[in-house]
A = this chain, B = another copy of it.
Amino acid sequence: MSTDDALFDAPGPHEAGGAGWGVAPSSGDDVERVARWFTDHPDLEDRFSAVFRQSLDEVMDGQRTGRYDVSVLEKTEKTYLGTKVEIVCRAAFGLARGEKMDYRVCGVDVDAKFSLDGKWMIPREAMGHLCLLMAANDRESAFTVGLVRIREEILTQGGNQDHKRNISATGRSAIKWLFKNGKLRKNLLLGLDDATRNALENVSAGQSRVDQLFRQVHGRIVDRNAVVTAAKQLDAPKRVRDARHRLAPEGVIILGHQNESPRIAKALRLPVPEKGTWVAARVVPAPQVTDRPQVSIGDASYVVAEPTESRRPAPVIRY
C-alpha cells in the first residue's frame, strides 16, 4: 500500500481482490458534479421526456408498422432501443464520447444504460465508472433517471451469460436520482380505452383510420406520431388537412398551432396545440342560453357539442 491509500475508505473484501478497480477518492463528488451538470438545464425534464419519447417512437416505427406498444417489439428491437436512447441522449445534451464509456461529462466518463423495466444490466467494463441509469414506462407516462458509481457492493451476485449483473435492492439506495417519476410525453394511442382502440383498429390503416381517430378522440393533444401511426403513412399535416375536409360535415374541427386555431382552442378551453400537434372537438352553434365556453367563428358562436346534440356542419376556420 502506498501512503496515499490511507486517505481512502478502507476497501471492502472484494475490492481488495486486485480486480483493478476501486472506489476513487472523488467518486462521491463526481456523482454530485455530473448530477449538477444535468440539473443545471432548466428544461431537464422536458429534454429527457423528448429523449425517451423520440427513441420509443423511432424504434416502434409506427409510420411503417402501425405499432404503438413497446411490448410487441422483437428482441433485437428491444436491445437496439438501448443504443437508440444512448444516441438520442448524446445528441440532446451535445455530449462528447468518454475515454472508455459512452459519454464524457465534466471530465468524467459516464456510461448510458437504458432499461424498459428499470432492471439495468451492468457489464463488467462499467465497474468503477459512473452510469447514467435511464428507464421509461410508456403505459405510466413516466421515466426515471439516476446516477451511480458502479461498485461491487451495489450489484447482485451471479450474473447472466454475458456476465452482466443487476443493481441489488440495497444497491439502489446508492443511486442519486435525477427523476424518480419524470413525466414522459403521453403515447396517445397506447392510452386509449379499449372501445376506442377497437373501433380504430376495425378501420383499415390510412386516411380512414386518421379520420376515425379525430372523430373519436376529442379534447386531447394528438401528435404527429399518433397520426402517422394511424395512417401507416408519412406526411401527418396532409392527413390532418384531409381529415378536416372529411369530418367537417359531422361538425368536427381539428385545431393546429396557426391562424385561428389557438384563439378557438383557448376560448373553448381545449388544450392549445404546439407545432406538430392537433386537438379535435365536435362543435355546434351555441344555444341562446348556455354555461359552456363559447367562441365566435365568422358570424356565429359555437360550443363544444354534448353527445346528445345532433350533428351540425363545422364552421369554416382559417386553420
Contacts and interface: CB of A to CB of B under 8 A. Distances in A.
Interface of A: 61, 64-65, 74, 76-77, 79-80, 82-83, 87-88, 90-91, 232
Contacts of A79: 76, 79-80
A82 B82 CA distance: 17
10 contacts: A61-B87, A64-B90, A64-B91, A74-B83, A76-B79, A76-B82, A77-B80, A79-B79, A80-B80, A91-B232
A82 B83 CA distance: 15
Interface SS of A by simple majority: helix
A77 B88 contact: no
A219 B9 CA distance: 65
Given A65-B87, A91-B232, 16 more contacts: A61-B87, A64-B87, A64-B88, A64-B90, A64-B91, A65-B90, A74-B83, A76-B76, A76-B79, A76-B80, A76-B83, A77-B80, A77-B83, A79-B79, A80-B80, A80-B83
Nearest to A61: B87
Contacts of A64: 87-88, 90-91
Counting from the closest, the 3 A-B pairs by CB-CB distance are: A80-B80, A64-B91, A76-B83
Contacts of A82: 76
Contacts of A90: 64-65
Nearest to A80: B80
A54 B143 CA distance: 30
Contacts of A232: 91
A232 B80 CA distance: 21
Nearest to A86: B74
Nearest to A91: B64
Contacts of A87: 61, 64-65
Nearest to A73: B83
Nearest to A63: B91
Contacts of A83: 74, 76-77, 80
A207 to B, nearest CB: 15
A83 B65 CA distance: 12
A70 to B, nearest CB: 14
A87 B72 CA distance: 14
A87 B77 CA distance: 11
Contacts of A91: 64-65, 232
A82 B79 CA distance: 13
Nearest to A82: B76
Nearest to A83: B76
A289 B80 CA distance: 60
